[in-house]
Amino acid sequence: MLGASYALIVNVMIAALFAASFVFVALANPADRRALWFAASYMLGLSAPLSLFVVRFGVWPYFFGALNYVGFCAGLFLMAASLARFYGRGPRWSAVAFLYCAALLSGAAIGEWPQDSLAFNLVYQTPYALATACCGWIILLASRRGALEVALAGLYGLIAAHFIAKPFFATAFGVGRTPSEYVASSYAIASQSATGVLLIAAGLLTLLIVAQEAIAEARRAAETDQLTGLLNRRGFDLACMPRLASARARRDPTTVVLLDLDHFKRVNDRFGHAVGDEVLQYFAALLRLTAPKGALAGRMGGEEFVVFLADAPLARGRRIAETIRQATALHATPRLPQITVSIGVAEIAANETFSQAMSRADEALYRAKTLGRDRVCLAREAGVKESQR
């Protein structure tokens, strides 16, 4: 009895720790509170070992035995719903409610059956197996599926199989005919320990996945311009470097396009900063539409934008820049003022840094401004001074 009680206490503490950990992750990431669903699942699941621990003292054994079943089922089915929500599939609450009600009805139907019979244990364990199998299936259907997700899906499959196998072990080793006898049995020690270890492993993997997603979201926020949704200067530099290195390894030409909205200060002065922000958002959307697939676009600050083109020599970079310029000049939006854009284009030489190519593109952009704006200018060749061009 002491061994089973010890296992139950450990399971209660671990469930509480997981619930607290998921709450902490949610509070640390205010923009995404999906981790709270996992916390709620563990709080519900916590009622199961806690109820069995109370049964040890002979306090309303049938009531707390039923609460163990009700709470554990609720925790597992809510875990399936939490995973569906986390992976953006949206839990089908009608299906969750139906399965949970079916589990409760089946549990009520076997209330008078001998607890040590195979039939009782098969019906008793089936909802647990079904809920955990659903968890694994939901993860496998997720659009993003890394090594951790595959491991977690496989683990939930193992947990489901373990619930299916438990009735046979229960009848072989004996579970007693009442909840109190179950807690006192040697099988309870093995059952609670095995289930606890498997669910701890699932909890740790889930916590790792949720924390990984929170870190990735924080990184995206730090590297994204909040107004336009494009990469900011830091995000653009970080994303551009590996692409440039990969292109150089393949000896593919690369081009950088620097863009600056013309007379943007006049827009802010005449129409206000709110309209100016809308203009920036509109141009960012236009940039996404006109830049080719695979191009990397960012906002460098103010009204200045940048596009990195892999596998694009200078001539192709110029054509793309001209397409962007024409689309900007021809835009027709009654709510926004007419805008144009000046553009500098530089092909990145094999012997120069990205920063040097940006400087050449900036010089070309400045020349486009001085020549009357609303035009595309090509940068000087790498190593050639502006005065020699």
Residues noted as catalytic: 303
Taking the CA atoms of the chain, what radius of gyration do you get in angstroms?
31
In this structure, are residues 367 and 353 in contact, taking their beta carbons and an 8 Å threshold? Answer: no
In this structure, are residues 267 and 335 in contact, taking their beta carbons and an 8 Å threshold? Answer: no
Quote the tokens at residue 169: 């072990």
Burial class (CB in 10 A: 0-12, 13-18, 19+), 137: middle
Smallest CA-to-CA distance from 11 within 204, 190, 197 is with: 197
In this structure, are residues 96 and 41 in contact, taking their beta carbons and an 8 Å threshold? Answer: no
CA angle 76, 81, 84 (to 5 degrees): 130
Whole-number Å distance between alpha carbons of 380 and 237: 22
Quote the tokens at residue 242: 């590996």
Smallest CA-to-CA distance from 262 within 373, 123, 359, 116 is with: 373
Tokens 């607290």 belong to which residue?
20
In this structure, are residues 205 and 155 in contact, taking their beta carbons and an 8 Å threshold? Answer: yes
Smallest CA-to-CA distance from 159 within 199, 207, 191 is with: 199
In this structure, are residues 227 and 45 in contact, taking their beta carbons and an 8 Å threshold? Answer: no
Smallest CA-to-CA distance from 120 within 133, 107, 132, 129 is with: 107
DSSP 132-200: HHHHHHHHHT-SS--HHHHHHHHHHHHHHHHHHHHHHHHHHH---SSHHHHHHSHHHHHHHHHHHHHHH
